[in-house]
Structure 1
Amino acid sequence: MSKPLDVMYLPMLDYEEAWNRQKAIVHQLDEGEGAEQMLLLQHPPTYTIGSQNHPEHLLLSEDELREQGISLFQIDRGGDITYHGPGQLVGYPLLVLGRDEALDLHGYLRRLEQMIMDYLADQGIEAGRKEAYTGVWIGDLKIAAIGVKFNRCKHRRGFVTSHGFAFNITSGIQHAGFQGIVPCGIEQYGVTSLEDITGKTYTVEQVAQDIVPYFNRIFPYEITWITEKEALPRLQIRQYKGFRFLSEQ
């Protein structure tokens, strides 16, 4: 019998709020409480820097960040700097992976990539991987970035996943916040979006709904769509240490 997975779409959520929700869900799952979840959402303009942490890949000053209304956070996922903003579908699968499951970090990354590649294939787009890099690529252009963390459980065997994927949907997103960084620290390649590749119009919410069956092919769960109102009473959200604006260094 498949395990339950609650899936929720949020049209727009501040990065800090999303991060605190992830931490709260990870804590509950470690305690054996609640269902595994996947948050699907959009963020306001935000840069996040992962564990590789190359500050030189941020091309804007703090004054320029403030002028453009872009937030900047140091976080605990793998990878370098990336951009999140309107027109991009961000997915945070929060899953319990037992130690007896034959799935390591790299295998999990490959499955998330495959989910997006399968979705794109059904849109008539040939996407793939690029040697030495994570993410989903169309030629030399990245359409989806992936950065995750395996949180080691304290009260049960195994891990709880956090962070996830960022899938560029609407046209022009590559000319938005991506111009202020070296995306994922990769200087020689660019980024693209679903609309720019297909010439069609998509909404982020529709792609969020459409991509869940592709997730379910690879991760067999019993899916239930829930609302934010249904989720929040079960969740004890608080501020967590280890999360800060870079300007607070």
Structure 2
Amino acid sequence: MHKPLDVAYIPMLEYEEAWNSQKSIVQQLDEGEGNERLLLLQHPPTYTIGSQNHPEHLLLSQEQLREQGISLFQIDRGGDITYHGPGQLVGYPLIVLGRDEDLDLHGYLRKLEQVIIDYLADQGVEAGRKEGYTGVWIGDLKIAAIGVKFNRCKRRRGFVTSHGFAFNIASGIQHEGFQGIVPCGIQQYGVTSLEDITGKAFSVELVAKEIVSYFSRHFSYDIRWVDEKEALHR
């Protein structure tokens, strides 16, 4: 019997609400309340700047951001600047690491990457890692970014994870929000999407539902699907 994991797919959620919900859930898990969770969702157009804090990698002015309807947040995950928007599957695992003797923060990042690598393999796409970088790559093109925060527990041993992965699904996403930034601070390489690589159409919701089994395979959870209200506010 594995640990329970509450999973929800949310078609569209404002970034600020998702971030606030993550912080609340992290606190609950630190206090031993509620189940661990995996939030799968899409955001409206949003840029987030991580702890590496390179504002120069944002190529748009505040006026241009307003004109294009793109929100901007300075947040507490690792990494540089990235884009979230429609057509991208964002995953926020909120799980406890280190309650046993297997605390491995580096290994957690590699497992997150492997979830997407394995999913892509079953779609006929050969993906992998790129030395010196995080995320999932197809040659010199990044298809999924990884950026997490390890929240050190105050009331128990270990850490609670927040933030997670951003998996590009829809065709053309690299010509939308990614054009306004230096993605993850990497100038020499580009980004791609599942539809552009395969030439096939994919539903973000279907990919979300399919990828959960890959997540549970690598992280050993029993999946329990819940609705948005229960996932965010319980």
Give the aligned partner of residue 19 of structure 2: 19
Q: Distance in 2 between matches of 1:221 and 1:5?
A: 6
Give the aligned partner of residue 131 of structure 2: 131
2:140 paired with 1:140: yes
Instruction: Point out where structure 2 has 5 or more consecutive residues left out of the alignment.
Output: none
Output the amino acid matched with 1:191. V
Output the amino acid matched with 2:20. N
Output the amino acid matched with 2:198. T
Give the aligned partner of residue 209 of structure 1: 209
2:44 paired with 1:47: no
SS of the equivalent of 1:28 reads: helix
Deviation at 1:99, TM superposition (A): 5.0
Give the aligned partner of residue 168 of structure 1: 168
> In the alignment, is the contact (CA less than 8 A) between 2:7 and 2:231 conserved in 1?
no
Deviation at 1:97, TM superposition (A): 1.0
SS of the equivalent of 1:134 reads: coil
RMSD of the TM alignment (CA)?
1.0
Give the aligned partner of residue 29 of structure 2: 29
Distance 1:232 1:19, change over 3 A: closer
Instruction: Point out where structure 1 has 5 or more consecutive residues left out of the alignment.
Output: 235-249
Q: Give the alignment of 1:157-236 within 5 angstroms.
A: 157-232=157-232, 234=234
> In the alignment, is the contact (CA less than 8 A) between 2:87 and 2:173 conserved in 1?
yes
Distance 1:76 1:229, change over 3 A: closer
Deviation at 1:233, TM superposition (A): 5.3
Q: Distance in 2 between matches of 1:193 and 1:2?
A: 33
- Which deviates further from its counterpart, 225-234 or 139-148? 225-234
SS of the equivalent of 1:119 reads: helix
Deviation at 1:106, TM superposition (A): 1.5
SS of the equivalent of 2:155 reads: coil
Q: Distance in 1 between matches of 2:101 and 2:195?
A: 37
Q: Distance in 1 between matches of 2:118 and 2:93?
A: 18
Q: Distance in 1 between matches of 2:128 and 2:148?
A: 19
Q: Deviations over 1:2-21 (max 9, x none)?
A: 11100000000000000001
2:88 paired with 1:88: yes
Give the aligned partner of residue 63 of structure 1: 63
TM-score by length of 2: 0.98
* Equivalenced residues, count: 234
Q: Distance in 2 between matches of 1:229 and 1:56?
A: 37
